[in-house]
Chain A
Amino acid sequence: QSALTQPASVSGSPGQSITISCTGTNSDIYTYNSVSWYQQHPAKAPKLMIYDVSNRPSGVSTRFSGSRSGNTASLTISGLQAEDEADYYCSSYTSTSTLSLFGNGTKVTVL
């Protein structure tokens, strides 16, 4: 099964806002409210940033927000900071496997 589609890289200057897209199909993002987003720094385990499309776990900065339109989900990082430089992965429940399907990842660079 193919991964969800994310741009390979997104960049922005400190203080700016950036948005990462994640495109799926009717078997995942379009149908289920189970989109999540993860931040991964080099050689570290992923960290959950958003679940159920737009919910933030306790302790995650309000600068991170999620949304969805049709079969595309988005993660927006506002007030970009140097510490936000990392890889970001989207994920969605998929009826194809009844497991979570991940995106191919987006590298965020803070200029």
Chain B
Amino acid sequence: QVQLQESGPGLVKPSQTLSLTCTVSGGSISSGNYYWSWIRQPAGKGLECIGRFHSSGSTTYNPSLKSRVTISADTSKKQFSLKLDSVTAADTAVYYCARSLTVFGVIRHAFDIWGQGTMVTVSS
């Protein structure tokens, strides 16, 4: 059973880089046909897709964040990471990593496995 766990600093100063890691247990990020995604949720607000990594090595970013976001993976450690540059208070949110649902080997645009989420606050 695949499980995801986010980790990283809970407090980041404005203008600095937010760095988070998602560790995958019970499975591999380099095999199978899955998207591995980062999603965030500001307090009391809705969800926003930040971007995703595919096991083929391709990445897709939300156009609204593209200039500041990098998603990468370390398959040997079964981890994928998020870096968000030049953060402001607007980046304060709970950050989730999630895996896409795959049905009969075909990726669906839905997320069936989520990490528990990690709260990141941007403040000096």
Q: Which residues of A contact B112 (CB under 8 A)?
A: 48, 51, 57
* B110 pairs with A51, CB closer than 8 A: yes
Q: Which residues of B contact A98 (CB under 8 A)?
A: 60
Chain A-chain B contacts (Cβ-Cβ < 8 Å), number: 68
* A46 pairs with B109, CB closer than 8 A: no
The interface size of chain A toward B, counting residues with CB under 8 Å, comes to 27
* A57 pairs with B114, CB closer than 8 A: no
* B111 pairs with A46, CB closer than 8 A: yes
Chief secondary structure at chain B's binding surface = strand
When C-beta atoms are compared, the residue in chain B nearest to A51 turns out to be B110
Known: A1-B64, A51-B108, A89-B47. A45 touches B115 (CB 8 A): yes
Which of B14-22, B48-56, B76-84 participates in binding chain A? B48-56
CB of A64, distance to nearest CB on chain B (Å): 14
When C-beta atoms are compared, the residue in chain B nearest to A49 turns out to be B110
Q: Which residues of A contact B49 (CB under 8 A)?
A: 97, 99-102
* Binary flags per residue of A35-46, CB closer than 8 Å to B gives 1, else 0: 010100000011
Known: A51-B108, A103-B46, A105-B46. A46 touches B114 (CB 8 A): yes
User: Which residues of B70-124 have CB atoms within 8 Å of chain A's CB atoms?
Assistant: 96, 101, 108-112, 114-117
CB of B44, distance to nearest CB on chain A (Å): 9
Q: Which residues of B contact A103 (CB under 8 A)?
A: 46
Q: Which residues of B contact A57 (CB under 8 A)?
A: 101, 112
- In the complex, whether B25 has a CB less than 8 A from a CB of chain A is no
Which listed residue (A1, A34, A45, A105) contacts B110, Cβ 8 A?
A: A34
* B48 pairs with A51, CB closer than 8 A: no
- In the complex, whether B57 has a CB less than 8 A from a CB of chain A is no
